[in-house]
Structure 1
């Protein structure tokens, strides 16, 4: 049978469709447990599978409409789709999360951390793979440039334009599925596809990478909560004012310094059953611990913890996976620093890393920090391992306290115990660790590096407290870990020590496992005799209110809404919610819904809305 040009074109189109059909399964296999699991997904979720295939074809059609070259369009589709999948694979390995659309805004962070992350992967294999891809693409480009082969086929403009538009409209159906009438219901009822925003790992596993990635795009767009208007905010504020009462805490004779220390990856490793540590790596924190911080993140995403801490807002009212520092804070917002500045404090931030990271320089200015001491503000700093030491951060805090004529509010974010925890991270170790029998010995070396950082952070906290104890200035210190450390891919240390159940990702976890993997030590210390209550498990958004009470500083009405919510639901994250009786929930209980609605309306007003509730307008 002779292949006529027309038949050749048909076969080429069929081959392309078959390739994309395979690519959708291959992506799922690469991101999951292999082809057996991916083929099972194809059988169990046929509609989701075919939608992923059609998305790839639509992307190809867009490139074809633009370039009118089959091979170039095919390669462009392959590079874009394959690149997203590879990035998602490595992100999941380190942080337990897939790639979200807004992650693409954080490329500078990824490049900056790449040298440390490469220590955790087979860098040789990765670089070899990249070299092969680059060589292959370069070879094809060189061949095309030298030979200028005749296009396999070309489309007339009247065919290209409709093809491009139809493909773009098809993709937009998923990007704006909530806004286009009938699309969301059609996906749910006919295709059995639901955007599982509350469990993104399940979302990607059930709906496939490409479909879920598009469905998440609209989540970057924030809609006003139902009922948001000036009158609604005024009514909420009036209710809060009627319920406002003075704090029970006794105010110190003079305004105290308020120090927040957000300690990088600080966590109690002695919670690993069967592991041994000599000596206790965190004696000072253990002595003064008042509760546990329920972090909204694991292994990274530090800025999201800061966001809750400094604003009183919660990530629960934002799209899963979003980064407020990058996406939302583009102008002045009511936050703890600018409020304390109005109360006579000097608010300053300390972080021994470049100020552009997580967009902190811009965000801190919008929050009202008068000064931000980043890595360039440290003169000949003391390093321990690859990062500035926690002892150096303590020394800088003391310098700022002594240099100020007014009380200071210092928000310090440490860096020493940041990943990676390779065995030669430090030249000397003053702590020894031993993992239980049967655990990969390499993990013990990583655990020792991490634990050394814990010991140093504890010692730095103790040093700051000793300085404050000897000082005649009243000082309040709030110390906590921002999140648990990522030690090994896919929670390897935690699974091999049976801290959490084994299995891919978080699939086998119960609510208590999520709490364990999100809880870090919280210690509040002061030198003026204020009684610090036992806080239990609390989210970062509650800490500013607690600190203001202990410091004897009047609070904005907004924090009354935070307090009312904390009284019934002190721990509030996507994965697990903790009520005042220490009961755990997956979904917000109905009895909390009214308080939640008020809180959400106020947060929207202050972050995205007209700021009717903002003390900045007063």
Structure 2
């Protein structure tokens, strides 16, 4: 009952059975290793409490409970602690620390009891584990963690997702779905350079209310007025889990179709799969990914070659780049994109997928100086708005990045298509609650420096964005006869 969202008291029989079997398995396993019954009982309860506490911290920030694929990110807790540890409150850290101390003390104090048969002890551990599999398979689940937890309880759902998600059928379904993606065939009629930008936590924050300064989005508005398509984009992530949106855009696969793989699709990529990068690579493009962070984050260093990227410029490429807060500035990413385009062979177009990092939280760790808020919103200097001020400061830089890049392309003699989108809304639940809003959608535009047409507003899902981009790339119709942006500028 400590996990949020709270589960109903009366739960389905199968969920109660699965919970009991799971705790019993942990107890039997610890007892088989330590031969300490009291310690094993305390350790079992402590483990459930620990996972529940971590789940509560995640839910408080991201509105999603802890799920089994989050275990794959456990190593990143130590390699990139700034991205995770600040979301644990002092109270949770103290409680976790105290629990660990008590469990260790219990191990030292309790004397081991030598069992009569080691084989029977291990059999007692294997039996609940074996029984848990068929129970988990029969538990009715929606794969909406909130709904499932409210119905079945946190630990039963966590274990059911874990056991069902690791079944061979989950991997088979993943392979079948991605194999049917839209980027396995086709070639462009013309071959412009293509830039795809995933902007960290970007969305049109003016939807929060009139308090947000509209001039923060001046260059974004310019881009939309000149764009072929623009609108809101429905993404399969909220506040974090960038890789879900990233995978949907790059592969054109709808998140819910992936089954249990939807929570961390990169963990299920084991072979080459069709993507935007492989599509452009097959068409003769040089495919490069740019991300001013560590290549192993989300396992991109392993996954991106399987998606068809020939090169990956990570944090090492930005060793001397300027920072905005703790991360590489969006301005530096814009310069890296321009440098890639200028270095391109005239006979070989470029597909550049750039992921920004500047606006990545935790925002509450950033310093906000007195007076900074007034140029970005009219809500005042109260501490409750500091995270919003920090966020809008980075939005201002993202807007400048758009302007810098499109200004360069307007004078370039290379035909270029730019697709810009936000991966998810920022993790600002307390700000949104105080404003009485609940933003869900990000924003996008598809722009090019050749052809001309009235911009068309279309709201899309993340998995539809790649196909929309290819449609603009392949569309030559009347626009092919119209002047290049550099010609219009003269």
**Shorter chain as normaliser: what TM range?**
0.7 to 0.9
3-state SS of the aligned residue for 2:320? Answer: coil
> TM (normalized to structure 1)?
0.68
Q: Partner residue of 2:480?
A: none
- State how far apart, in whole Å, the 2-side matches of 1:77 and 1:452 are: 45
Structure 1 pair 387/450, CA: closer, same or farther in 2 (3 Å)?
Answer: same
Q: Which runs of 5+ in 1 are unaligned?
A: 1-27, 178-183, 188-193, 501-515, 555-618
- State how far apart, in whole Å, the 1-side matches of 2:322 and 2:377 are: 25
Confirm whether residue 355 of structure 1 aligns to residue 295 of structure 2.
yes
Confirm whether residue 528 of structure 1 aligns to residue 450 of structure 2.
yes
Aligned with residue 268 of structure 1, among 191, 198, 204: 204
Structure 1 pair 442/220, CA: closer, same or farther in 2 (3 Å)?
Answer: farther
Structure 1 pair 448/418, CA: closer, same or farther in 2 (3 Å)?
Answer: same
Cα deviation, 1:275-310, whole Å, max 9, x if unaligned, reads 513352112223333111111111111111111111
Cα deviation, 1:125-169, whole Å, max 9, x if unaligned, reads 34433432333233333334xxxx363x84544643543343222
Q: Partner residue of 1:297?
A: 237
Matches within 5 A, 1:574-589: none
Shift of 1:84: 1.7
Aligned with residue 77 of structure 1, among 29, 44, 63: 44
Aligned with residue 466 of structure 1, among 407, 414, 439: 407
- State how far apart, in whole Å, the 2-side matches of 1:165 and 1:53 are: 14
Question: Is the 8 Å Cα contact of residues 344 and 407 (structure 1) preserved in structure 2?
Answer: yes
3-state SS of the aligned residue for 2:215? Answer: coil
- State how far apart, in whole Å, the 2-side matches of 1:258 and 1:359 are: 24
Matches within 5 A, 1:493-532: 493-500=431-438, 516-517=439-440, 519-531=441-453
Question: Is the 8 Å Cα contact of residues 292 and 536 (structure 1) preserved in structure 2?
Answer: yes
3-state SS of the aligned residue for 2:262? Answer: coil
Matched pairs, number: 460
Q: Which runs of 5+ in 2 are unaligned?
A: 225-229, 477-490
Shift of 1:327: 2.0
- State how far apart, in whole Å, the 1-side matches of 2:260 and 2:383 are: 33
Q: Partner residue of 1:310?
A: 250
Confirm whether residue 106 of structure 1 aligns to residue 52 of structure 2.
no
Q: Considering Cα pairs closer than 8 Å and 6+ residues apart, tell me whether 1 or 2 has the greater RCO.
A: 2
Question: Is the 8 Å Cα contact of residues 5 and 149 (structure 2) preserved in structure 1?
Answer: no
Q: Partner residue of 2:463?
A: 541
Question: Is the 8 Å Cα contact of residues 325 and 358 (structure 1) preserved in structure 2?
Answer: no
Matches within 5 A, 1:329-478: 329-405=269-345, 406-422=348-364, 424-425=366-367, 429=372, 431-435=375-379, 441-478=382-419
Structure 1 pair 107/121, CA: closer, same or farther in 2 (3 Å)?
Answer: closer
3-state SS of the aligned residue for 2:442? Answer: strand
Confirm whether residue 196 of structure 1 aligns to residue 160 of structure 2.
no
Shift of 1:71: 2.4
Structure 1 pair 161/417, CA: closer, same or farther in 2 (3 Å)?
Answer: closer
Structure 1 pair 211/529, CA: closer, same or farther in 2 (3 Å)?
Answer: same
Structure 1 pair 532/415, CA: closer, same or farther in 2 (3 Å)?
Answer: farther
Q: Partner residue of 2:216?
A: 281
Coordinate RMSD, CA, aligned: 3.2
Q: Partner residue of 1:15?
A: none
Question: Is the 8 Å Cα contact of residues 368 and 389 (structure 2) preserved in structure 1?
Answer: no
Shift of 1:360: 0.5
Question: Is the 8 Å Cα contact of residues 394 and 464 (structure 1) preserved in structure 2?
Answer: yes
3-state SS of the aligned residue for 2:74? Answer: helix
Q: Which moved more, 1:83-92 or 1:405-414?
A: 83-92
Structure 1 pair 425/408, CA: closer, same or farther in 2 (3 Å)?
Answer: farther
- State how far apart, in whole Å, the 2-side matches of 1:320 and 1:161 are: 30
Question: Is the 8 Å Cα contact of residues 384 and 426 (structure 1) preserved in structure 2?
Answer: no
Q: Partner residue of 2:132?
A: 171
Q: Partner residue of 1:22?
A: none
Cα deviation, 1:435-454, whole Å, max 9, x if unaligned, reads 39xxx943311111111111
Structure 1 pair 159/347, CA: closer, same or farther in 2 (3 Å)?
Answer: closer
- State how far apart, in whole Å, the 2-side matches of 1:109 and 1:99 are: 15
3-state SS of the aligned residue for 1:281? Answer: helix
Structure 1 pair 150/293, CA: closer, same or farther in 2 (3 Å)?
Answer: closer
